[in-house]
Amino acid sequence: MGLRDRLRSGLQRSREAINEIFYMGGDVDEDFWEDLEDRLVLSDIGPELALSISDELREKAARENLTKAPQLKQALSAAIAKTFATSEQDPFTETPACVVFVGINGAGKTTTVGKLANAAQDEGKTVLIGGADTFRAAAIEQLDVWAERAGVPLITRERGGDPASVCYDV
């Protein structure tokens, strides 16, 4: 199995792992919280944010007497959504548009780029992804998987290549 296949398989496992705890319908007990924390930490959102979201959900469950896992699924989605900054204007209303994503490792940049590219492609927009992170291990391969899923072209360089040259070409 090549790197791309392993990466695709890993992303699928992460998605299934998080969804699984909500479909089991079990009680919200200490095992549920530990399982949720573990699965969030291993996902694309990073350990600090994962623990913060888990703590927030624990408090909400206690306040609102949420005792079943499926009751917390929507709350989890809302908690994750509110961690992202909102823009005063849609950066894609005027075209052409260029949006740059920067942040710490594990913040969800690659996942967000992939999902936005897919949404824009679904709206009939022409999309191009530029992958200028030529130094982080597997960054290019991860972005390639998302670009392929969205059906959009990807411009990047080999590992260790010049990131500025990617930006120039994009």
Q: Are residues 70 and 117 in the same domain?
A: no
What is the length of the chain? 170
Tokens of 62: 């206690």
Is there a domain that residue 132 lies in? yes
Residues 158, 132: Cα–Cα separation, whole Å: 10
User: What local confidence, expressed as pLDDT, does residue 25 receive?
Assistant: 61
Please tell me whether residue 73 adopts helix, strand or coil conformation: helix
**Residues 6 or more apart whose Cβ sits within 8 Å of residue 7:** 138, 141, 142, 145
Residue 139 is part of which domain span? 109-169
Closest to 80 in 3D by CA, of 102, 56, 103, 106: 56
Does any domain span residue 137? yes
User: Exposure pattern of 112-121 as b/e (b: 16+ CB <10 Å)?
Assistant: bbbebbbebe
Same domain, 113 and 54: no
Q: What is the pTM of this model?
A: 0.51
Q: How many domains does the chain have?
A: 2
Residue at 8 is within a domain: yes
What CATH number is attached to the domain comprising 35? Answer: 1.20.120.140
Model pLDDT, residue 15: 61
Domain assignment present for 87: no
- Domain assignment of residue 94, yes or no: no
- The answer on 19 and 63 residing in a single domain is yes
The whole-number average pLDDT for the span 97-106 is 81
Q: For the chain, how big is the Rg over CA atoms in Å?
A: 18
- Whether 73 and 113 share a structural domain: no
Does 92 fall in a domain? no
pLDDT tier at 41 (50, 70, 90 boundaries)?
confident
Q: Which residue among 47, 63, 82 closes a domain?
A: 82
* Cα torsion through 68, 38, 11, 136, rounded to 10: 150
Q: Where are the beta strands (DSSP E) in 27-159?
A: 129-131, 154-156
Residue 96 domain flag: no
Closest C-alpha among 164, 116, 120, 114 to residue 139: 114
| Mean pLDDT (the chain, rounded) | 81
Q: Is the pLDDT higher at 105 or at 24?
A: 105
Q: Are 61 and 113 contained in the same domain? A: no
Within a domain: 103: no
In this prediction, what percent of the chain has a pLDDT beyond 90? 12
Residue type, 26: G
